[in-house]
Amino acid sequence: MNPMSELASSSTDTPVLPLITDFEAVPSILLPREHLDRRLIVGFEGYDDRSRPFNLLRTRVAKTLKQRGWRMIGVTSATPAAGKTFNAVNLAAALSKLEDQRILLCDFDLRRASILQMLGIGVPTAINEYLDGTIDDCGKAVYRINNGNLYIMPVNEVMRDSSETFASSRFLDIIARLRAMPDNCIVICDLPPVFANDDTMLCMEHLDGFLLVVDHGQTTARQLEESIALLRPTPCLGTILNRYQGGFADDYGYGYGDPYGLKSYGKRTSA
């Protein structure tokens, strides 16, 4: 277990409150199926052929987390535009369809506001406002999607001083409250690309593990190896091979691989 789990227990006897204390009271954002489809968010639709790779990934990830007792993972890539947020959102959506499972998708890409951009929505209050001191309750920056089991904690304004923010007491408070969430809650953190800045390395020490999105034909073997090395000792659960154009994958190019991106699986479908 990641030693940062100890953040959930204060050095005093004061218990740390979970980020969400009443799941049913979280304000919901309603996104029609047509809107989600335009945004290529298919993880909610178990019978959609496009969701099949995310269902495979969901099963693999859920099994690994259960075996290792993990509940907080990150999703990142070596370089920008590899599809990390697309995969993070769809994986979170697929996981939220599991029975008795709640998923909290956190946007820790503070310089991009990636999750809101992917979902194509806006929110009145976001986590950057807690981190910069505008609001005093980070729980007010959480939203529920379509009254289901997917919750998001987004960013709605770019934070240029993100590196300093990740070392702040307010960020550590968020981590402690995430660690205090119920056992049936999985936290997925959308992180910046590894080589964009040092933000992901700073965040990684608080997580149990991570998934690395590999952009087929763009991400190099050296970038992959150096990314994993930079994020050690936090373990890599595996890679997501995005936009794969041949072999055993489907037409949308999603695959799940080993930690060095050498394998993927799936069945090719007709166009």
Q: Which residue has the higher pLDDT, 35 or 163?
A: 35
Paired with 185 in beta bridges are 102
Q: pLDDT band at residue 199, thresholds of 50, 70 and 90? A: very high
pLDDT at 13: 61
Alpha carbons 198 and 167: distance in angstroms, whole number: 11
Reported as type and span, the H/E element at residue 112 is: none
Q: pLDDT band at residue 75, thresholds of 50, 70 and 90? A: very high
Average pLDDT for 174-185: 96
Q: Which residue has the higher pLDDT, 73 or 111?
A: 73
Domain boundaries, the chain: 3-257
Task: Report percent pLDDT > 70 for the chain.
Answer: 85
Concatenating the DSSP letter of every residue in 73-108 gives EEEEESSTTSSHHHHHHHHHHHHTTSTT-EEEEEE-
pLDDT at 241: 86
Which of 180, 152, 28 is CA-nearest to residue 93? 152
Is a pLDDT exceeding 70 seen at residue 252? Answer: no
pLDDT at 15: 85
Alpha carbons 216 and 15: distance in angstroms, whole number: 45
pLDDT tens-digit profile of 103-128?
Answer: 999 999 999 889 999 999 999 999 99
Q: Under DSSP, is residue 270 helix (H, G, I), strand (E, B) or coil?
A: coil
Q: Which residue has the higher pLDDT, 129 or 271?
A: 129
Reported as type and span, the H/E element at residue 257 is: strand 254-257
Highest mean pLDDT among 39-53, 141-155, 237-251: 141-155
Check the CA dihedral 192-193-196-197 and report its sign.
positive
Average pLDDT for 31-58: 91
Average pLDDT for 152-166: 92
| Fold observed for domain 3-257 | Rossmann fold (3.40.50)
Average pLDDT for 63-84: 94
Query: What is the model's pTM?
Result: 0.85
Is a pLDDT exceeding 80 seen at residue 248? Answer: no
